[in-house]
Amino acid sequence: MSIAAPNYNDSSCLNRLHPNQDRNRSRASATASTGGTMRSGVKSGVRLRRYAITVAAVVVALIVVGRITGILVDWLWFSSVGYGGVFWTIFSARVLLFATVFAVSACAIWLSGMLAHRYARRVDVLRAQAADPSHASEVAVELSELIAPHVPWRASIACAAAVLGLVIAAGEVSNWDVALRFIYQVPVGERDPIFDRDIGFYLFSLPAYIALKNWLLQLVFWSAVVAGAVYALRGDIALERPPRTLSAAAITHGSALLGLFFAVKAWSWWLDRFLLLYGDNGVVVGASYTDVHVELPVLWMLVGLGAASSVALWINMRRRSHLQPVVLALLVFGSSIVFAEIYPSLFQRFYVKPSELTLETPYIEHTIALTRQAYGLAKIEVKPFEAEQGLTLDSLQANRATIDNIRLWDVQPLMDTYAQLQEIRTYYKFLSVDIDRYQLDSGYRQVVLSARELEPAMLPSNAQTWVNLHLIFTHGIGVVMSPVTEKSTEGLPSFYLHDIPPVSSGGPAIREPRLYFSEGRQDYVIVNGNVAEFDYPRRPTNAYTTYSGRDGVTLGGVGRRSLFAWQLDDPNILLSGYITDQSRVLLHRNIQDRVRTIAPFLTLDHDPYVVASNGRLFWIQDAYTVSQWFPYSRPGFGDNANYIRNAVKVVVDAYNGTVDFYVSDPADPLLRTYARIFPGMFKPLDAMPAGQRQHIRYPEDLFLIQAQLYRAYHMDAPEVFYNREDLWQFPQELIGMDGGSSASTMPPYYTIMRLPGDPRAEFILMLPMVPSQRENMIAWLAARCDQPGYGKLIVYTFPKDKLVYGPFQIEARIQQNTEISQQISLWNQMGSRVIRGHLVVVPIENSLLYVSPLYLRAASGQLPELKRVIAAYGDRVVMEDTLDQALAALFQETTQAASSPRGATDARAREALAHYDRAIERLKTGDWSGFGAELNALRPLLEALGAGRSDDHK
């Protein structure tokens, strides 16, 4: 028997003698293969990185160039309108805030990342192999060892810090006005009832502290994210699979950052004490009983707990316990949930609710007082109004200034009529109708007027060329003005100003009618080129003009033209041969855009209105200072704003584009602060030219906000306020076409009237009020617009034991009137459409008169005509052709006039004319029976007139 010698060339035998050799060979092969793949990937990665860097550089360059050109254009424009100082103040504040936030944020995040990089340990290969000895795990560990040395840690951390710093700074730069208000704040002189701090602390300091706190929380969060990422990549944090580890360096660093977080949270809870003054539990706006007696002590407890936790965590930087941060986090956040959320809710529900009125009474008083102060309601003067029924024709004659200014022309029908009669050409447009008053030869008259604006989009499509849109068609022209009460025999408005160029027929003369700046969507235009601007149409050729106003930024040479071509995204500015070195570009031609660009910190009324003064046209824009930070005040508009003042009147020249800011409320603390921030920007109201100052009016937006709040906050007794015993609401009215008429809330309206007890008529803004869930009238609110009483609010309250018809009740009486309803139905059946106008309540002495216009429009037409006037007084309702006839019928003028032969004759003549007009109307609509009835009624009147004339001759 022989034994074969071992074959050492046999691979199986070799494998048996060296069981790890194959694994090593496989590992080497895998490593070599991986290395080759790595080298190939590295080359591809380098190319991709180069492309990415190139693309990123181009994008960044375009963004930077765009920002720089935008800044240059803004600077040139601000300088051209005389507000270069405002530009530099805002720009400097934004740049300084951005740079400060970026520098601090980037440095803090970089420092956190670098500390993590410095103290992080190397990857423990043996521990990783022990944890997962499989082949794949070994290759993964080796890959980590291959990649880790090539990671540019310092550059990566610096890049991450820079990017995060930019993001944080970009988010905080919008707080530039918060920072400036904090620095330049002025005291208010009133103190809050809980913490006894000046109201200025809440308006100016608290918002800045909140913004600073939010920034610090962001900073701590991102510092922790960057540090955590470094520790995780370096192996100091391994929580995915056992053995889970957390290095001493990571514990130390985490304790430091968590301690900073709790320190900031402690300050945040300290600030939250003041935020209690903005709460709302449905009964009290501001700090309630629960807030003062539970929430406030809890917040102090959380302040102490947060501060103690931060100190404990900083001590833990030496102890390096990984359990202590977890325990403290659970303790702090658990306490905040239990004591700041659950416990107050239970206390409110089971202790306060059963005795709510008694416990909340002092806090309801705070809510009422400070809300009235925040909205200017505390200055409203309350006067009684007896609502008597003693009105006569004599008293009407004594109040002729009120009667002659009762508004019969509503906005929409008048705009339709203006469009048909006065737009003249398709490229002109009336965008809005404004209500104002003028001292004319005919007296102190309330008028409606509208600016004839250019609408380039209405040009024929083949005429909408770049030259036409930006060089030739540059401005609107003139205004249309008509009295609010008068009409022609055809039912059309009478005109004080009309046609192109404006022709005055009793209205103010207009020497410069061109509107380069107006309400419409206005793109930029270039003036003073070598092509004439279209002025207005006339025969046989159009009129042309050249702009000679003050506005515009000079385009000059190639450099500036290139700048504006880039910024406005229009290469034609650079290429056009119509532009010369003297050409100027007019920017921000929309009124509100212009004002917002100069003063972004002001809130604008929705309706700028045009004014004719000294032969020129101006726009007056009401501007408000608003805040969300007035304590104990109910949010009433906008983005939870709870404070408002009509602090500024802005006047914009429609031709020159000059913008002037006049102070209308010098006591406003916000405006006084802005005046310190922007010295010289605001002028006293007395500096406004007298011709413009005569046209300032109480703004409708502010009046609506105040009226909305006053519905509840006229109740100053806590018990009455709590029970809502005397809650008011806005009245309802019927508007629209008959058959399609719908109830809507009555808007406030301007009128000229003599307030009870005053010697002369004045321009006011007024709104009736009715009780909640009722339609009878309970009061009416008025805002005075004329000097010296401008800005004063008066509420006239009715006796509570007397029924006074409200607007909707009068509407019901109108609909129930058989003669009126039959006439409206007949018109609607004969191819016409009846449009019900707004009902207006006209206080005269101590009585109320109700007037509503009625318009007629052909079914296929767009030209409404004022055909009838409905008047109501007491239990009587009449409808006549004119307001005078309606009042005569309402107060039985014929009976009074019968006492004198001359008066009787005049009365019969007017009545005959009314029947004649109605006969013609019925003839137009094909109502032959109605036509015959009117002629039959006319015959005896004509016979009586003939007999009277014969008697006179005798």
* Whether the predicted pLDDT of 890 surpasses 50: yes
* Whether the predicted pLDDT of 18 surpasses 90: no
CA distance 879 to 853: 9
Q: Which of 103-107, 477-481, 522-526 has the lowest mean pLDDT?
A: 522-526
Confidence (pLDDT) at 126: 35
Q: Are 444 and 437 in contact (CB under 8 A)?
A: yes
Mean pLDDT of 697-714: 96
Q: Are 769 and 793 in contact (CB under 8 A)?
A: no
Which is higher by pLDDT, 541 or 272?
272
Mean pLDDT of 475-501: 94
Confidence (pLDDT) at 489: 86
Q: How confident is the model at residue 901 (pLDDT cuts 50, 70, 90)?
A: low
Find the radius of gyration of the CA atoms of the chain.
39
* Whether the predicted pLDDT of 145 surpasses 70: no
Mean pLDDT of 305-331: 92
Between CA 580 and CA 586, with CA 582 as vertex, the angle to 5 degrees is 100
Long-range CB pairs of 129-135, under 8 A, 24+ apart, other chains included: 131/241, 131/242, 131/243, 132/241, 135/23, 135/26, 135/27
Q: How confident is the model at residue 383 (pLDDT cuts 50, 70, 90)?
A: very high
In a 3-state reduction of DSSP, which class is residue 384?
strand
Residue 86, burial from CB neighbour count under 10 angstroms (0-12, 13-18, 19+): buried
CA distance 498 to 478: 8
Between CA 779 and CA 788, with CA 783 as vertex, the angle to 5 degrees is 135
Confidence (pLDDT) at 241: 58
User: pLDDT tens, 238-258?
Assistant: 766 565 678 889 999 999 999
Please confirm whether the linkage preceding 501 is cis (ω < 30° from 0).
Answer: yes
Amino acid at 557: G
* Whether the predicted pLDDT of 219 surpasses 90: yes
Which is higher by pLDDT, 322 or 333?
333
Between CA 175 and CA 180, with CA 179 as vertex, the angle to 5 degrees is 115
**What is the residue extent of each domain of the chain?**
81-244, 247-374, 376-401+700-883, 405-589, 603-695, 892-954
User: pLDDT tens, 654-675?
Assistant: 999 999 999 999 999 999 999 9
CA distance 201 to 669: 11
In a 3-state reduction of DSSP, which class is residue 358?
helix
Confidence (pLDDT) at 540: 83
Confidence (pLDDT) at 135: 44
Structure tokens at 194: 């809980």
Mean pLDDT of 774-787: 95
- HEC letters along 554-600: ECCCHHHHHHHHHHCCCCHHHHCCCCCCCCEEECCCEHHHHHHHHCC
Confidence (pLDDT) at 935: 74
Q: Which helix (H) or strand (E) is 445 found in, with range?
A: strand 443-454
* Whether the predicted pLDDT of 38 surpasses 50: no
Q: Are 583 and 526 in contact (CB under 8 A)?
A: yes
Q: How confident is the model at residue 122 (pLDDT cuts 50, 70, 90)?
A: low
Q: How confident is the model at residue 55 (pLDDT cuts 50, 70, 90)?
A: confident
How many residues in the chain? 954
Confidence (pLDDT) at 763: 97
Confidence (pLDDT) at 948: 57
- The pLDDT > 70 percentage for the chain reads 86
